[in-house]
Structure 1
Amino acid sequence: MSEITILATLATVHFIALMSPGPDFALVVQNATRYGRQTGLYIALGLSCGILLHSILSLTGVSYLVHQQPTLFALVQIAGGSYLFYLGYGALKATWASWQREPASTTHIDAPQLLLSNKRQAFSRGFATNILNPKALVFFVSLMSSLVPATMSLSGKGAALAILWILSLAWFSFLAWALSTQRMQRKLQAITLYIDGLCGVIFSLIGAGILWQSASSLLI
């Protein structure tokens, strides 16, 4: 198989995975609809940098070594699951607090929520959500080991990393942009609270599932 074919296959598989609903997708949807375009774009940048780091660690074999050590991998799962559960709990808590207010105030973004419009915080949230997700570690280990041969040229491996990063940044940025247009914001304003609640449920369930899996592996 030629390097061009390998890179095309890699790009296709990765792009399909990007469009699949998961923590990264939910994070962009939640924050782009709630806080606007700038926050969504910086979260997209953080997510894509997390994907780039996962790709580098997988390509160099570091992620594979972590995955092969049950105790170490379980600790990674605990850290990632706890973080995702924390995001879910925070979203659900904020949603519940908003439900207690007057209906007219549910579309108002208060001062504490505006903290996430800080560029550094938005980038950090995106980066942490991706890099601490143990499912992402497993995905990239599988992707790199099955599609990128060890004999691939250095330029080919560099192109693979560039493709993964550019596709991730382009997709999540497009998602953030599409959800933050004035027309879309007017449509989403009435259901922002429901989006927050749904994303909170997604984060909580995924985080709890990862924690349960890591606890089970430690007890075996």
Structure 2
Amino acid sequence: MNEITTLLTLLTVHVIALMSPGPDFALVVQNAGRYGRQTGISIALGLSLGILLHSILSLTGASLLIHQQPMLFATLQAAGGCYLLWLGIGAVKGVLLPILRPASSPLKTATPLRVIANRKQALAKGFTTNILNPKALVFFLSLLSTLVPVDMSFGGKVTAIAILWVTSFSWFAMLAWLLTGKRLQKKIQQWTPCIDGICGVLFVTIGSMILFNLIQQP
């Protein structure tokens, strides 16, 4: 398999993985429609930077070292699971509180809490969500170790990393751009509680599964 074929295969697999619903996808959907296009694109940049770091760590062998150190990998899993669980609980709580709060205090429920105040926070949230996801570490380690041969040229490896980063940013930025169109944004804002609830349940489910699998390990 020559390098061009390898890179095309890598691109295809990565695009399919990006389109699959997961924490990264849910984070863009949950926040872009609510906080606007710039916030959505900042989250996309943060997510893609996390993927860039995962790619570099995988190709340099650092991810393999982390994966082969039980305590270190368990710590990463615990941190990632807790972070996703925290995101999920916060989203679900934001949906339930206005419902459960007494009707006698309407002023307190009139304005929803803005969890992202600026672009730097959005970028940081995107980066943290991706880099703390242990499934992402395992995915990129498996993907790159399987498709990228050890003897691939330095230029080929740099190109592989660039493909993963550019494709990731382009996909999430396009998603944020589409979700913040005027017509669609109005509809999304109407369905914000439902979207937050679904994304919150997704975060809680994935985070709980990570922690449960961690506890079940001998």
Query: TM-score scaled to structure 2, two decimals?
Result: 0.94
Displacement of 1:71 in angstroms is 2.1
Question: 1:15 is matched with which residue?
Answer: 15
Q: How far off is 1:98 after superposition?
A: 2.9
Q: CA deviation at 1:158?
A: 0.4
Per the alignment, residue 181 of structure 1 pairs with 181
Which residue of structure 2 lines up, in the alignment, with residue 159 of structure 1? 159
| Percent of matched pairs sharing the same residue | 60
Give the match's secondary structure for 1:116.
coil
How many aligned positions are there?
Answer: 214
Structure 2 unaligned spans of 5+: none
Partner Cα distance (1:74, 1:97) in 2? 33
Rounded to whole Å, the distance in 2 between the matches of 1:176 and 1:108 is 26
CA distances 1:153-178 after superposition (whole Å, capped 9, x unpaired): 11100000000000000000000010
Indicate whether 1:209 and 2:209 are aligned: yes
Equivalent residues in 2 for 1:23-172, closer than 5 Å: 23-100=23-100, 110=112, 112-113=113-114, 116-172=116-172
- Structure 1 runs (4+) greater than 4 angstroms displaced: none
Higher mean Cα deviation, 93-102 or 50-59? 93-102
Look up the equivalent residue of 1:213 and give its one-letter code: N
The CA deviation string for residues 196-219 of structure 1, in whole angstroms up to 9 with x for no partner, is: 0110000001001001111222xx
Hey, what's the Cα distance between the residues in 2 that align with 1:140 and 1:116?
A: 28
Indicate if the aligned counterparts of 1:48 and 1:169 stay in contact, CA closer than 8 A.
Answer: yes
TM-score by length of 1: 0.93
Displacement of 1:100 in angstroms is 4.2
- 1:33 deviates by 1.6
In structure 1, how many angstroms separate the alpha carbons of the residues matched to 2:82 and 2:27? 16
Change (3 A) 1:29 1:108: farther
Distance in 2 of aligned mates of 1:3 and 1:191:
46
